[in-house]
Amino acid sequence: CSASANKPVLTLFTKKPCPLCDKAKEVLEPYKRRFILQEVDITLPENAAWYDEYRYDIPVFHLNGKYLMKHQVDIQKLEDQLLKLEVQND
């Protein structure tokens, strides 16, 4: 099935521990078949630029490389953006 090739990538900028990130992942659970969740640990040396940008804001989400939301999951915003992308791919 080629559907997974067209799935948008939702990037979660996170670090350990991150209770807000854990909560965000729980909220995303029912939607996860609609995107690929990619986690970026901002504390890793190769992610220093993200650390500088987001250390006070995690969790931060990007959808297909574009900033989407931070601090908590805005389901309506996520839903709107996923629908937009799904319509484009049909």
Question: Is the pLDDT reported for residue 84 higher than 60?
Answer: yes
Q: What is the pLDDT of residues 24-80, one digit of tens each?
A: 999 999 999 999 999 999 999 999 999 999 999 999 999 999 999 999 999 999 999
Extents of the domains making up the chain: 9-88
Q: Does domain 9-88 have CATH number 3.40.30.10?
A: yes
Residues 21 and 58: their CA atoms lie apart, in Å, by 7
- Residue 80 gets the label, from left (phi > 0), alpha (psi -120 to 50) or beta, of alpha
Encoded tokens for 10: 């939702």
* Pair 57, 70: CB distance under 8 Å: yes
